[in-house]
Amino acid sequence: MLVRPSLCQVDPLDNPAPALSADVRRRPFFGLFTVPAVVVAIVFTIAMAAILQYSVRAQIPGSLEVGGFTFTNLTAMLRPLYARVFADTVWLCLLTAVISLVLGYPLAYALVRSTNLTVKSFILIVTVTPLFLGEVVRTYSWIVVLGNNGFVNSVLLKTGIIAEPLQLLFTVTGVTIALVHVTLPVVVVMLAAAISHIDPDYEKAAESLGAGPFRTFLTVTLPLSGPGIVAGLTTAFAWTFSAFATPQLVGGGKVNMVSNLVYQLGFANFNFPFAAALCVAGLLLTYLSIFVMRLVLRPMEKIGVH
């Protein structure tokens, strides 16, 4: 699986390789520690299978039961109404990922390379806190900022830059701004992890050969952080795809992502089969988009491997 997230990235102590023997004596706790994890994995798989199964069943209007097998959900999805939502979602996710990358890289770099501990902590706290605030609080804060009586408009109106309030809520611009705010922390954390593992010796070598700091950055640091950039972009894409409260509240029904559609069809129309079909399509779309992104950015990934 191309996008399987993996834990195996760092081994600073060169610990011995995992035990290969099936001898129980050499693998204490194996059963006890693995079985619960297997149970969780099974539950997750069954839940996904349930969605898959529902996606090919018909809806019986007015009831929570499902009918027989049918492909109507699939064909219905191809209708412009829904296809547009998919296209919009992909575009929003892409845009958000790129903007987050552009804004996040300087932050990540400063976070890793600054020597002042207070600065480091400050950047870390400020960047990570939004991640833990939960979607509703974050999104709501943006409503206060972007609303017609909100912060942005008040400042712009009072300073006379504009005469009428700017419509930011319920627009793609507003949703994008809020989504970037949501995704930025994730990108910064991933980039910082990648940048922190770049061997400073490479940069020192470049400097000793006469390159100025800017040139060193462009020709050594940036390429070496390639894999981190790719990982950050793909994670940002997947993360943004999962966003629900932000497009729902800031978009206000005018800007819809797949997540909002699923909720609407599930809880407003009780059309769970179609909602499930949308989920399946959404998942496939996410994996496909990430696959394409990684394919296109393959050169960047290769450079950074050292």
Partner 1 sequence: MVAILGFIILPAIVVGIAAFNDKALLSFPPEQLSLRWFYKAISYRDFQTGFHNGLIVMLLSSFIALFIGGAFAFVIDRYEFRGKTLLEGLLLAPLVVPHFTVGLGLLILAAQIGATRGYTVVVVCHVILVLPFVLRSVYISLRNLDQRLELAAASLGSRPSRVLMTVTLPLLAPGLFSGWLFAAILSFNEFTASLFVTSQRTQTLPVAMYNYVREYADPTMAALSVIFIVVTATLLTVANAYLGLGKVLNVEQAR
Residues 149-208 contacting partner 1, CB under 8 A? 149-151, 154, 181, 184-185, 189, 192-193, 196-200
Q: Which of 60, 98, 140, 172 binds partner 1 (CB under 8 A)?
A: 140
Q: Which of 12, 61, 80, 160 binds partner 1 (CB under 8 A)?
A: 12
CB neighbourhood size of 195 (10 A): 20
Evaluate whether 263 touches 191 at the Cβ level (below 8 Å): no
Alpha-carbon Rg for the chain in angstroms: 24
Q: Using the minimum distance from each CB to partner 1, give the nearer residue, 72 or 242.
A: 242
| Burial of residue 197 (number of CB atoms within 10 Å: 0-12, 13-18, 19+) | middle
**In the block, residue with structure tokens 């497009």:** 247
User: Is 288 near partner 1 (CB under 8 A)?
Assistant: no
CB of 186 to partner 1, least distance (A): 10
CB of 287 to partner 1, least distance (A): 8
Q: Interface residues for partner 1 in 266-285 (CB under 8 A)?
A: 266, 272, 275-276, 279, 282-283
Tokens of 201: 């010796």
223 Cβ contact list (under 8 Å, min separation 6): 300, 303, 304
Give the separation between CA 304 and CA 306, rounded to whole angstroms. 6
Q: Interface residues for partner 1 in 47-106 (CB under 8 A)?
A: 47-48, 50-51, 54, 64, 103, 106
Q: Using the minimum distance from each CB to partner 1, give the nearer residue, 179 or 299.
A: 179
User: Is 229 near partner 1 (CB under 8 A)?
Assistant: no
Q: Using the minimum distance from each CB to partner 1, give the nearer residue, 39 or 299.
A: 39
Q: Which of 101, 111, 175, 233 binds partner 1 (CB under 8 A)?
A: 111
CB neighbourhood size of 12 (10 A): 6
Q: Using the minimum distance from each CB to partner 1, give the nearer residue, 33 or 91.
A: 33
Tell me which stretch binds partner 1 (CB under 8 A): 18-26, 159-167, 205-213, 292-300.
18-26
Q: Using the minimum distance from each CB to partner 1, give the nearer residue, 71 or 291.
A: 291
Give the separation between CA 279 and CA 257, rounded to whole angstroms. 12
Q: Which of 70, 72, 242, 264 binds partner 1 (CB under 8 A)?
A: 242
Using the 8-state DSSP alphabet, how is residue 66 labeled?
E
Evaluate whether 187 touches 106 at the Cβ level (below 8 Å): no
Q: Which of 83, 87, 136, 162 binds partner 1 (CB under 8 A)?
A: 136
Amino acid at 84: R
CB of 262 to partner 1, least distance (A): 5
| Burial of residue 292 (number of CB atoms within 10 Å: 0-12, 13-18, 19+) | exposed
Tell me which stretch binds partner 1 (CB under 8 A): 71-79, 210-218, 235-243, 294-302.
235-243
Tokens of 35: 């079985």
Give strand pairing partners of 59: 66
